[in-house]
Structure 1
């Protein structure tokens, strides 16, 4: 008789265990092979996350971003040099590429040149080399120092067109170190020249 009671106890315990298992599965769920797939309502959110992750290397100024930067820096360098040689005594094309201090310095130099009755003749041959010396991020501002080696033909003439300095027949190699800067949080992708190292 005692054996039959033990048998009933085992059945009861098995039923209780089964009930608990079913309750837990209802609360916690079960593996269905869905892992790794995103529900439809989250697809847009994941898309946005992927776009943000793809944009991060550019914020970090990686190799690809540096190559793109140097292409633009060469164009900016030529634009600024040739604009300084124009004889209207003011910076025009290069203005968006200069911060306020550099723009004022260039304009002051042009005014001084005009006062003396001098004008420049510059033929830009090309940039032989442009390389990033260093880049630093301070807060949201990224500063990039670039070493340029370029070739130009340059001379300064007076109002009677006599040569004051330079040689209109000779190619001159010039070495410059410029610092460009931009706010990484700005929607404006353009860089500005902020300093010229001597």
Structure 2
């Protein structure tokens, strides 16, 4: 089951395992590495999103019409899959991954993202460090998280989620001086993240496999 999908409804369990990931478009903040936007799409399995708990009804804006058939395929491949729980986990992963990227936490990114996505993040972090820049960003709120695509191919489920969020961002130089952004004005961001997981894997977690701007 690849593709951003049924993330941990039990956010507590998810957070306990500290699973995180990052990416997308953001004005006034450091853009995500393009490499990640252009070359992600491989199925992985690790520990970023876990689905557990009782199934719950989903809201009217949580699944785009074009993703319904794909979600049926995911459920057919894994009857335990629950969309509402997945979205809960996806939102937690979105926050955690962004924060790991902003802080340069490569250890967290190691097990929250697939290799190519992780490599792109690590490269961007290295460039940022070399320039002496430090990100002081904050995810203010996630206005909406909705499944836009879903599929199952070669035993791997993939789910794409659109995140509409507000992010306050600041870039500081080595001396702590603000060189870009503002913490008083949140910027609207629109990201498309794809999570993936091998359907028959004993590991219930999903990894970030692709990112793009919405």
Q: CA deviation at 1:161?
A: 1.9
Partners in 1 of 2:164 and 2:75 — Cα distance? 26
Gaps of 5+ in 2: 1-72
Moved more, 57-66 or 114-123: 57-66
Task: Report what 1:75 is aligned to.
Answer: 92
Kept in 2: contact 1:153–1:169 (CA 8 A): yes
Q: Counterpart of 1:65?
A: 82
| Counterpart pick for 2:102 among 57, 80, 85 | 85
Q: Shift of residue 128 of structure 1?
A: 1.2
Alignment of 1:101 with 2:102, yes or no, is: no
As a proportion of its length, which structure holds more helix?
1
TM-score (norm 2): 0.61
CA deviation vs aligned residue, 1:58-88 (integer Å, no higher than 9, x gap): 44467961111111100000000111111xx
Q: How many residues align?
A: 141
| Cα separation, 2, equivalents of 1:119 and 1:153 | 14
Q: TM-score, normalised by structure 1?
A: 0.66
**2: CA distance, partners of 1:130 / 1:103:** 22
Distance 1:132 1:63 in 2: 17
- Equivalent pair of 1:140/1:184 in contact (CA under 8 Å): yes
User: Which residue of 1 is the match for residue 175 of structure 2?
Assistant: 160
Which ranges of 4 or more aligned residues in structure 1 deviate by more than 3 Å?
56-64
Q: Which residue of 2 aligns with 1:129?
A: 144
Compute the displacement of 1:57 (Å). 8.2
Alpha-carbon RMSD: 2.1
Q: Tell me what 1:120 maps to.
A: 135
Whose relative contact order is higher, 1 or 2, with alpha carbons under 8 Å and at least 6 apart? 2
Uncovered stretches (5+) of structure 1, i.e. residues with no partner:
1-55
Relative to structure 2, which stretch is displaced further, 91-100 or 67-76?
Answer: 91-100
CA distance in 2, matches of 1:59, 1:80: 29
